[in-house]
DNA sequence: GTACATGCAAAATTTTTGCATGGGG
DNA sequence: CCCCATGCAAAAATTTTGCATGTAC
C-alpha cells in the first residue's frame, strides 16, 4: 500500500464525514470543512475522498465517475457492477431479499423495490489488472 | 399521465435498449442508434431515456443528476435513496440478503459485498409532492 | 392546427487534472 | 530534503436546457 501523509485536510475531512449523520456529497463536505479550513480546495476534497474510499475508511454510495446505465428489463433483478470499468452484468443464480415488516413503518419513507448490486471486478478487468479486491467474500454468505 | 407522441426516435431507442444484452450508457446508446438515425441528438437520447424511465419501460441503474454521497460507516448496511431529492438515509430495521452458493461461481466475477438500496420518496418530498410512487410494495415482501 | 418532440448549441453540474508551491516524515 | 499533498485554475465528463423548427395526432 502506498504511503500516505497524515495531513490536516484529510484528518478534518474524515472527522466531518464521521461526525455527520447525513451522507454528504463532496460539495456539502467542502462547504462544511471550509469553516475550519477556509483555504481548502474542492480538488483536495475529491482527492481525499478517493484516498479514504480506497483505504476503506469511508464508503461511496452510488457510482461516482461512471455513467448511468439503462436496462430494458424492467423487472428488478440483481446486478454485478465492475468497480474498475463500470460494466454492469445481470447476476445469474438466485438470491432473495427478505424485508422485515418494520422497516418501512418506522421510517416515514414511501418505499419501492429494493435494488441489489454486487460490486466487484469483471472477468476482463480481473485478467488485465490481476487485482483481487479487498472485501471479497465467499458465496453463500449472509449480510445483515 | 402525460400524452406522449410515438416518435421514431423513442421507438428506436427502446428497441435498441431491449435488443442489447449489455446495459448501455446514454453515450453508447447514442452511438448505437446513430446507425439508424444519423441526425439524432444526445439531448433527445437523454430526454427519451427520462421519459422511458418515467413510464417504466426501462430502468436506470445508478443515479443520474445526483452527486455521489459518502458514508463514514464502512460496514455495509442498507440505505434508502430518495428518487426526488437524492437524499440518502440509513435503513433501519433488519433485513438480510441470502446469496446462493452458485451466484459467483458461474460468473467469472470477483465479487465483494452486496449493496442494498431501497429507492423511494423521503418524508419531506412526500409531503411536498404528495406523489405516491408506483412500484410501492408492502413491507415483508420478498424479492427474487 | 396545436402542442409535444426534435436538432443543435450553449450551459450547468459534477469530477478530474496540470502545475507550481508547501509541508509531513 | 524528498516527494506526496495542496491550492488554484483549467479542462474533462456527464447531463440538462433554451430556442426555433418539425411532426404526430
The predicted-structure confidence for B31-44, as pLDDT tens digits, reads as follows 999 999 999 999 99
Do B109 and A121 make contact, defined as CB atoms within 8 angstroms?
yes
Residues 35-94 of chain A whose Cβ lies under 8 A from any Cβ of chain B: 49, 52-53, 56-64, 66-74, 76, 78-83, 87-89, 91-94
Share of chain B above pLDDT 70, in %: 74
SS3 B19: helix
Q: What is the DSSP letter of A129?
A: H
Distance CA B81, CA B62 (A): 11
* B44 CA from D19 C1′ (Å): 15
Cβ contacts of B62 within 8 Å, gap of 6 or more:
A62, A63, A66, A67, A68, A69
For residue B102, the model assigns a pLDDT of 54
CA-nearest residue of chain B to A20? B72
- Could you tell me if B96 and B114 are in contact, meaning their C-beta atoms sit under 8 angstroms apart? no
Low-confidence ranges of chain A (pLDDT < 50): 101, 131-144
Predicted model pTM: 0.80
Q: Beta-carbon neighbour count of residue A27 at 10 Å?
A: 12
The length of chain A, given as a count of residues: 144
Distance CA A93, CA B107 (A): 9
Q: Smallest Cβ distance to B74: which of A56, A79, A100?
A: A56
- The answer on pLDDT for B84 being more than 80 is no
* A44 CA from C17 C1′ (Å): 12
Distance CA A141, CA B51 (A): 38
SS3 A122: coil
Cβ contacts of A22 within 8 Å, gap of 6 or more:
A28
Residues B112-133 pLDDT 10s:
777 778 778 888 888 876 544 4
B59: chain A residues, CB-CB within 8 Å: 70-71, 73-74, 76
For residue B65, the model assigns a pLDDT of 56
Distance CA B82, CA A28 (A): 17
**Per CA to C1' distance, which residue is closest to D13?**
A65
Amino acid at each position: 500500500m502506498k504511503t500516505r501523509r497524515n495531513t490536516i485536510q484529510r484528518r478534518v475531512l474524515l472527522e466531518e464525514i464521521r461526525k455527520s449523520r447525513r451522507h454528504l456529497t463532496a460539495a456539502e463536505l467542502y462547504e462544511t470543512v471550509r469553516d475550519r479550513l477556509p483555504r481548502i480546495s474542492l480538488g483536495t476534497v475529491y482527492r481525499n475522498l478517493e484516498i479514504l474510499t480506497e483505504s476503506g475508511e469511508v464508503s461511496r454510495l452510488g457510482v461516482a465517475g461512471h455513467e448511468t446505465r439503462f436496462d430494458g428489463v424492467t423487472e428488478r433483478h440483481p446486478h454485478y457492477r465492475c468497480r474498475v470499468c463500470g460494466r454492469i452484468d445481470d447476476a445469474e443464480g438466485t438470491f432473495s431479499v427478505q424485508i422485515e415488516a418494520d422497516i418501512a413503518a418506522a421510517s416515514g419513507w414511501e418505499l419501492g423495490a429494493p435494488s441489489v448490486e454486487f460490486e466487484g471486478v469483471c472477468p476482463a478487468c480481473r485478467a488485465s489488472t490481476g487485482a483481487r479486491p479487498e472485501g471479497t467474500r465467499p458465496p453463500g454468505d449472509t449480510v445483515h
